[in-house]
Amino acid sequence: MSYSYAFSLFAFMIMLGFSALASGAEGQGGEAPKRDTFKTDKGELAISFIGHGTLMLEWDGMVIHVDPWSKLGDYSKLPKADLILITHHHQDHLDPAAIKATSKGDTKMVLTETCAKSVEGGIVMKNGDKKTVGGIAIEAVPAYNLVHKRDNGEAFHPKGVGNGYVLTLGSLRVYIAGDTEDIPEMAKLKNIDIAFLPMNLPYTMTPEMAAKAAKSFMPKIFYPYHFGETDTSKLVALLKDTPEIEVRIRDLK
């Protein structure tokens, strides 16, 4: 083997290594998270599907991280948050390491009263509260179980502890439900354009519950999220006769 050939091969292998490092740190599976985009009266809204109950929204120059979780990837490769939303205190939703990784000097964080006992510097919102944070109107919606409970009879998500959030982003209203079942409060939601509802047993909803929940407030676009191994095709079938609701399935296990 000639010196020049060996050197060229060595250089090629180094380049290959750098390429693998660059692509492998983007997120799950070494790829940048998939995203959908929507038009608003203040420019584009981009929603990135990080996985599980974790989302990233970009709108009007702002980055919003929802329930960031370190297990899902390398947050150093994603934009830092202007706003972080934490729905409740379970470890796959409240992750101090991920909060630190997504934060910068002026990041604002909205969380529940229970979460505020574990992380400092957040703005507490209780069920029913309405606040404007960083120029974004936020409504805290209850998130709890009615049916599914632990062996001791305690609900997986007791009433009054967790939040869902409705965000008004220009002309669009986005509902991120957190961990919940098809609770009566959902029927009071108005003008929801995009909804994220959880669908994994035994902690949240069955496909039947999720379909009922969606029909109670009729979002224009419905993403099941945090659905684990639940068969999402059942949800699509349950809503096939409700054309007003567009069901979109993304990789949000």
Strands 108-111 and 83-85, bridge-based pairing: parallel
Provide the CATH topology of domain 33-247. Answer: Metallo-beta-lactamase; Chain A (3.60.15)
Q: What is the pLDDT of residues 17-62, one digit of tens each?
A: 333 323 322 444 457 899 999 999 999 999 999 999 999 999 999 9
Residue 160 pLDDT exceeds 90: yes
Cα dihedral across residues 221, 252, 33, 137: positive or negative: positive
Q: Where are the domains of the chain?
A: 1-29, 33-247
The string of pLDDT tens digits covering residues 53-92 is 999 999 999 999 999 999 998 899 999 999 999 999 999 9
For the whole model, what pTM was predicted?
0.88
Amino acid at 119: V
Q: Tokens for 132? A: 């404007």
